[in-house]
Amino acid sequence: MAKNVGILAVEIYFPPTCVQQEALEAHDGVSKGKYTIGLGQDCLAFCTDVEDVISMSLTAVTSLLEKYGIDPKQIGRLEVGSETVIDKSKSIKTFLMQIFEKAGNTDIEGVDSTNACYGGTAALFNCVNWVESNSWDGRYGLVVCTDSAVYAEGPARPTGGAAAVALLIGPDAPIAFESKFRGSHMAHAYDFYKPNLASEYPVVDGKLSQTCYLLALDSCYKQFCKKYEKLEGKQFSVSDADYFVFHSPYNKLVQKSFARLIFNDALRNASSIDEAAKEKLGAFSTLSGDESYSNRDLEKLSQQIAKPLYDAKVQPTTLLPKQVGNMYTASLYAAFASVIHNKHSTLAGNRVVMFSYGSGLTATMFSLRFSEGQHPFSLDNIATVLDVDKKLKSRHEFTPEKFVETMKLMEHRYGANDFVTSKDISLLSPGTYYLTEVDTKYRRFYDKKEGENASHCENGVVANGH
C-alpha cells in the first residue's frame, strides 16, 4: 500500500482585482474598523466579467502542471470542490478535462463534490483514499477547490472573495495525512444555503452560521481528541500541534475558533492551559452550549488567554484569507498555503491540524504532518511556486464604486446566455484563462492570455508571474 499519502504540490490563483476593506467601510458609511477589525479582514478579491470558477480552476491546474513539470498523462484522478454552481448537471471537472484531452488522457476518475465550503475537503479525502485503495493505478491525484463568494448588498458583502487552489496528491508526500486522527460533525442545518436557484447570492443567517460553526468545531475537536487518545494513549491538547488552520469566512471567526479550542482544553483540564487560566475559564463551565457560543465575557477572556498561542499557531495561517477574503472551498487551503509561505523553512516535523467547515452542515478536523520533501515536491519549492508576495503585490485595487458596479454586472450575467464579455484582460497575468463568450445555448468559451510563465512587464501591464 502507498505510504505517507498526502499533498505533493500546491498552487493558488486569485483574481488580480480587489477592493480594500477600509475603502469599503468608508463607502458603505459604516463605522471605521467594522470590516478591518470587526471582521478582521484587509482586502477582498473578486471576479470581473472575464473570470469565473471555471477560468480560475483552468488557470490553477495549468499553472501547477507546468511549474512542477507534471505531464497531464500522469494524472489518474481529478476532483473538484465548489459551491459556485454554473451548471446544475455538468461538473467543473469536465471543463478541466480540456487540458487533459489535449494530452490524450481521458482516463481520469473523479467528479465534483458539493457541500458549501466543505467540498474541497471531501475532494481531498476522496483523492487520498483513492491512492490508498485497490483502485489506485500509480498515477497522481489532483484536487481543485474553486469558488467565487459574492453576497447581496448588506452586511455580508464584505465577506466575499474568490480563488482557486490546486493540490497534487500522491505517496511519499511532504505533507502527509495522519488519517487516523480525524473527527467529523455533520448535521441538518439552514445556516447558509442557496435555495434561490436563479441568484448567485446565498441566504445567510449570520448568527446561526457562527453558532453552527463553533458547535461543529467543539464536536469535531471532541471526536479528534477521543481518537487521538485511543490511539496514542495520551490526552491531546493544542500543544500537540504546531499550527491550526481554520476555514476562514472572516478572520474574526478564526480568532474565536482558536479561543474556543483553548476553552475546550481548559474544561478538559489539558496541559496546554495553566492553572490560573483554567480557573478563570472554569467559571464559564456551567453555561449551556448555546449560552457559551454567545457569551461576550467568555469570548473576550478566552481570546485574551489564547493570544500568545494564537500568534504562534494561527496567525501565520491568516495572510491569504485576510487579503483575498472568503474563498469558500478554497479558503481552508489558502490559509494552509499561507503557513507554507510564512514558515516553509521550519515546518519539517511539524503537525498542522485543519478544520474544514461547510454550512448545511458538514465539518471535519484532521491532521497533517510535514517533512522537507524532495524537489520538486519540497516545502521550499512549494513556497517558491506559490509566490504569494508577488501575487499579492501585483493586484489592482478597484474603488468601492467600481466594485459595486462590477457586482451589478455579474448579477445580470449569472445564469445568463447569449453575451460576449468585455475581453478586457489587461489586468490578468500571462497564462491566465478568461471567459470570452456564452452563446445562445449557454455554452461557455474560454481563452488563455498568452505568454504563460512570463514574469515581466508585457504591454505595459505588470504581470504577476503565474
Active site residues: 83, 117, 247
Q: Which of 23, 37, 186, 287 binds a second copy (CB under 8 A)?
A: 186
Nearest 5°: the CA angle 47, 51, 56 is 100
**Strand, coil or helix: 350:** coil
Measured from the CB atom, is 12 or 365 closer to a second copy?
A: 365
Distance CA 337, CA 416 (A): 34
Q: Which of 26, 187, 231, 420 binds a second copy (CB under 8 A)?
A: 187
Q: Give the DSSP letter of residue 242.
A: S
Judge whether 168 and 12 are in contact, CB under 8 Å: no
The contact mask relative to a second copy for 244-283 (x = CB under 8 A, - = no) is ----------------------------------------
* Residue 31: how many other CB atoms lie within 10 Å: 10
Is the backbone of residue 415 left (phi > 0), alpha (psi -120 to 50) or beta?
left
Measured from the CB atom, is 101 or 397 closer to a second copy?
A: 101
Distance of closest approach, residue 416 Cβ to a second copy, in angstroms: 9
Distance of closest approach, residue 167 Cβ to a second copy, in angstroms: 17
Site for a second copy in 106-145 (CB under 8 A): 106-116, 118-119, 122, 125-126, 128-130, 132-135
* Residue 91: how many other CB atoms lie within 10 Å: 17
Distance of closest approach, residue 204 Cβ to a second copy, in angstroms: 10
230 binds a second copy (CB under 8 A): no
Q: Give the DSSP letter of residue 145.
A: E
- The site for a second copy, by CB under 8 A, has a size of 76
Q: Which of 23, 27, 171, 190 binds a second copy (CB under 8 A)?
A: 190
Distances (CA, A) of 188 to 82, 183, 193, 220, 413: 19, 17, 11, 16, 32
Judge whether 209 and 283 are in contact, CB under 8 Å: no
Judge whether 350 and 367 are in contact, CB under 8 Å: no
Distance CA 95, CA 114 (A): 16
Distance of closest approach, residue 147 Cβ to a second copy, in angstroms: 10
Cβ within 8 Å of residue 14, ≥6 positions away: 45, 56, 161, 162, 163, 164, 320, 324, 327, 334, 391
151 binds a second copy (CB under 8 A): no
Site for a second copy in 338-397 (CB under 8 A): 358-362, 364
Judge whether 323 and 342 are in contact, CB under 8 Å: no
Q: Which of 71, 101, 291, 418 binds a second copy (CB under 8 A)?
A: 101
The contact mask relative to a second copy for 11-50 (x = CB under 8 A, - = no) is ----------------------------------------
The dihedrals phi and psi of 442, each to the nearest 5 degrees, come to 70, 10
Beta-bridged to residue 149, according to DSSP, are 161
Cβ within 8 Å of residue 288, ≥6 positions away: none
Measured from the CB atom, is 68 or 118 closer to a second copy?
A: 118
Site for a second copy in 410-439 (CB under 8 A): 414-415, 417
Measured from the CB atom, is 87 or 153 closer to a second copy?
A: 87
Judge whether 200 and 162 are in contact, CB under 8 Å: no
Q: Give the DSSP letter of residue 35.
A: I
Measured from the CB atom, is 182 or 247 closer to a second copy?
A: 182
**Strand, coil or helix: 464:** coil
213 binds a second copy (CB under 8 A): no
Measured from the CB atom, is 92 or 382 closer to a second copy?
A: 92
Distance of closest approach, residue 209 Cβ to a second copy, in angstroms: 12
Distance of closest approach, residue 421 Cβ to a second copy, in angstroms: 16
Site for a second copy in 159-178 (CB under 8 A): 177
Candidates 21-29, 105-113, 240-248, 335-343: pick the segment binding a second copy (CB under 8 A): 105-113
Measured from the CB atom, is 42 or 79 closer to a second copy?
A: 79
Q: Which of 29, 89, 308, 375 binds a second copy (CB under 8 A)?
A: 89
